[in-house]
Structure 1
Amino acid sequence: MTTDPQTRVDFTGEAADLLRRLTAKHGPLMFHQSGGCCDGSSPMCYPAGEFITGDADVLLADLAVDGLAVPVEFWMSVAQYEYWKHTHLTVDVVKGRGSGFSVESPEGVRFLIRSRLMSEAELVAFGLLGD
């Protein structure tokens, strides 16, 4: 679980445990959150560098996970970021099948986002107060 108060994204303990297991199988990992419906709204987990990012994406965080040598990048499409820039995101994991492209799919679980509005202190820290 990440605990840095200045991060825009955290993992639950269950998500961090799953990331450690998945990293042992696939190597370093990354997330990408796009907009859309259905699986397009779920955070997708890929081997690091497998999903090509560009000008249409924002790197929200490089997240340290205890037991992992390399931080986990969390990317979001620019369009989705415009909707969610005032929210703090927590990556969680639940039973069920997600997208076949996300590395957790064969495990019978899927990642999902839990969100809350940022506090005033967080908005100030990220330069978002008044946006």
Structure 2
Amino acid sequence: MKVKKVTATDGALELIEKLKERHGPLMFHQSGGCCDGSSPMCFPEGDFKVGSSDMYLGQIGGMPFYISKDQYEYWKHTQLIIDVVDGRGGMFSLEGPEGKRFLTRSRVYSEEERKALQEEERTQT
């Protein structure tokens, strides 16, 4: 069983497609930063420098999604679900001019999913 660590709602996927048409390839980063809170941030691919304190979590809309390792420690027991709502989000994130903002929701993994993730981590080390 392959468990996705990050996924997106239909509304978020529609906005991602719109942003890809306008800006080209994208990337996402979920931080716990101070300036834009813990909103998932959307950038043109390569405009955010991923560092050693970040990890690749998966893809949404075919675009890479990264999270700070510290933030992942808080959320590793949940699947991140990227959604979109009306309103202004992070000032550096590409969706701002659309009058929308990405929002992270989450759900706790089932026992079966949790075991599958533990097994996956064990085989990767």
* Matched letter for residue 105 of structure 1: G
In the other structure, the counterpart of 2:122 is none
SS at 1:18's partner residue?
helix
Runs of 4+ off more than 4 Å? none
* Matched letter for residue 109 of structure 2: M
Partners of 1:92 and 1:62 in 2: CA distance: 14
Normalising to structure 2: TM-score of the pair? Answer: 0.88
SS at 1:39's partner residue?
coil
* Matched letter for residue 44 of structure 1: M
Pairing 1:6–2:28 present: no
Shift of 1:5: 5.8
SS at 1:94's partner residue?
strand
Structure 1 stretch 115-124 or stretch 105-114: which is displaced more? 115-124
Partners of 1:58 and 1:123 in 2: CA distance: 19
Could you say if the C-alpha distance between residues 5 and 17 of structure 1 is closer, same or farther in structure 2, counting changes exceeding 3 Å?
Answer: farther
Q: Choose between structure 1 and 2 for higher RCO, CA contacts under 8 A separated by at least 6 residues.
A: 2
Partners of 1:96 and 1:104 in 2: CA distance: 10
Residue 14 (structure 2) aligned to one of 6, 14, 17: 17
In the other structure, the counterpart of 1:88 is 79
RMSD (CA atoms): 1.7
Deviations 1:64-105 (A, max 9, x none): x3xxxxx21110001101101111010000000011100000
Pairing 1:62–2:59 present: yes
* Matched letter for residue 113 of structure 2: E
Any unmatched runs of 5+ in structure 2? 120-125
In the other structure, the counterpart of 1:68 is none
Percent identity of equivalent pairs: 54
* Matched letter for residue 42 of structure 1: S
In the other structure, the counterpart of 1:127 is 118
**Structure that is richer in helix per residue:** 2
Partners of 2:47 and 2:35 in 1: CA distance: 22
Shift of 1:37: 5.1
Residue 100 (structure 2) aligned to one of 101, 109, 131: 109
SS at 1:100's partner residue?
coil
Any unmatched runs of 5+ in structure 1? 66-70
Number of residue pairs matched by the alignment:
119
Could you say if the C-alpha distance between residues 16 and 75 of structure 1 is closer, same or farther in structure 2, counting changes exceeding 3 Å?
Answer: same
Normalising to structure 1: TM-score of the pair? Answer: 0.84
